[in-house]
């Protein structure tokens, strides 16, 4: 939905973007990586069917994860 502007479940184009952090607000959608590191996650929601996707949009956050986050060896339980 982020890249195609169309819901992959119902083909609607009625998509809303919810930023990971609202300016001057306590409302956040984030992944706390460590005591000092938070990564904000942007949510895209189809208001026709309710399907949603979450994306980390900042390149520096993706690079941080690439370097520091553990990569599982077994993906058999991955949903």
User: pTM of this prediction?
Assistant: 0.74
Domain spans in the chain, listed from the N-terminal domain onward? 15-68
Annotate 28-60 with b (16+ C-beta within 10 A) or e (fewer): eeeeeeeeeeebebbbbbbeeeebeeeebeeee
Q: For residue 48, give both structure tokens.
A: 């026709």
- Give the model confidence (pLDDT) of 3-50 as tens digits: 888 999 999 999 999 888 766 667 778 888 888 888 999 999 999 999
Q: Distance (Å, rounded) from C-alpha 44 to C-alpha 26?
A: 19
User: Helices in 1-79 by DSSP H: which ranges?
Assistant: 59-68
């Amino acid at each position: 939905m982020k890249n195609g502007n169309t819901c992959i479940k119902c083909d609607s184009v009625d998509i809303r973007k919810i930023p990971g952090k609202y300016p001057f607000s306590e409302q956040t959608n984030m992944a706390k990586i460590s005591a000092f590191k938070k990564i904000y996650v942007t949510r895209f929601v189809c208001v026709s069917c309710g399907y949603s996707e979450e994306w980390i949009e900042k390149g520096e956050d993706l690079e941080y994860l690439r370097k520091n986050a553990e990569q599982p060896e077994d993906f058999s339980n991955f949903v």
